[in-house]
Amino acid sequence: MTISKKILIIGSDGLIGNALKKHLIFQEKPVLGTTRHKNHLNKTTIFFDLFHSPQTWKIPINIDIAVICAGETRLMSCKNDPVGTYEINVTNTFELIKKLLSQNIFVIYLSSNQVFDGSQAYAPIDSPYSPMTEYGRQKAEIEQRIMEMKQPFSIIRLTKVLSSKDNLINNWKELLTKGKEINPFKDLYMSPIPLSIVLTVINIVIQQKISGVLQISGNMDINYVDIARLCAKILNCNKRLIKPINSSKIKLEHIPKHTTLDIDKLQFLIGIRPPNVLWTTEMVITNPHVIDGCIGEKGFSAIK
């Protein structure tokens, strides 16, 4: 009897990992997720904690593909604890990746536009690394280490991922509808992408084992204030409730001029265009479930 090869999702508690696992289960694909919360264990979820070395961790049998979704992604956490987060995001993550690759498991690693400094709009895939944050430096180092392994792999760089669970926009919605003031940062930009496009790309990479680096980005940068104004317009709320402030109050490591990435390779290989950031933002506000689920390749031709 042939035993089906499984897809392993490292970090199936997080936004992307959890949504990906649910999608693969819906597709009736053999999948295992990992969690560091022992009360979350079940028949499709096993224990693994990147806070500890993976050297003694036994990889489940019959794993064909592993998607690395775990890690410390909060920029402020990486800034405030560079040693501790380096242990998680670089030391232990790379030990895990080496272990997976040594067993001929195809690795898909989720990275970030933070590997670049944001000085150039639509940063090409082959741009020199230029991280300006601790998180970006950790991501860039892992990318470089993976490439030095000289084995088939996939790195998927993402800009800001929006879903129905986005805390910032949901908080703005709640405050505006109650007639309360909101304070978007006037000097920060993002190039948001819907969770649905991330899931779709990962799904296609899994199916085709597409090797190399891919980038997913919105079609342009949008200011936080413009997102807030769009939110107020859609909700028919008073725009005077929007009181922009400077981000200096939260002492960010770096304020990038641009966050967009060039996705020509993605468009060439898969046929996916950069999703319109206004559409993505509007869906979070008005129809959030639309941006949560995985949709087919052809579906993205409808995104204007």
* pTM, rounded to two decimals: 0.93
Task: Kindly give the interhelix angle for 277-286 and 167-177, rounded to the nearest 10 degrees.
Answer: 60
Tokens of 227: 């997102």
DSSP state of 116: S
Name the pLDDT band for 98 (thresholds 50, 70, 90).
very high
Q: What angle do CA 113, 117, 123 make, to 5 degrees?
A: 55
Query: What CA–CA distances, in Å, run from 86 to 157, 197, 264?
Result: 19, 29, 31
Determine how β-strand 106-112 pairs with β-strand 153-158: parallel
Name the pLDDT band for 264 (thresholds 50, 70, 90).
very high
Name the pLDDT band for 295 (thresholds 50, 70, 90).
low
Percentage, residues of the chain above pLDDT 90: 85
Instruction: Provide mean pLDDT across the span 1-22.
Output: 86
Instruction: Provide mean pLDDT across the span 261-275.
Output: 92
Q: The domain 6-302: what is its CATH number?
A: 3.40.50.720
| Helix-then-strand count for the chain, H and E | 10, 11
Output the average pLDDT for the chain: 92
Tokens of 115: 């590997």
Bigger pLDDT: 64 vs 291: 64
pLDDT of residue 173 exceeding 90: yes
pLDDT of residue 299 exceeding 60: no
Per-residue pLDDT reduced to its tens digit, 121-171: 999 999 999 999 999 999 999 999 999 998 899 999 999 999 998 999 999
**Counting Cβ atoms within 10 Å, is residue 104 exposed (0-12), middle (13-18) or buried (19+)?**
exposed
Per-residue pLDDT reduced to its tens digit, 48-66: 999 999 999 999 999 999 9
Per-residue pLDDT reduced to its tens digit, 198-214: 999 999 999 999 999 99
Q: What angle do CA 263, 267, 268 make, to 5 degrees?
A: 115
Q: How many CA atoms lie within 13 A of 31 on its CB side?
A: 22
pLDDT of residue 288: 84
Q: What is the DSSP string of 153-195?
A: EEEEEE--EE-TT-HHHHHHHHHHHTT--B--BTT-EE--EEH
**Counting Cβ atoms within 10 Å, is residue 48 exposed (0-12), middle (13-18) or buried (19+)?**
buried
pLDDT of residue 301 exceeding 60: no
Counted residue by residue, the chain has a size of 304
Instruction: Provide mean pLDDT across the span 265-271.
Output: 92
pLDDT of residue 175 exceeding 90: yes
pLDDT of residue 48: 95
Instruction: Provide mean pLDDT across the span 85-111.
Output: 97
273 sits in the region (left: phi over 0; alpha: psi -120 to 50; else beta) called: beta
Instruction: Give CA–CA dist 51/93, Å, rounded.
Output: 9
Percentage, residues of the chain above pLDDT 70: 95
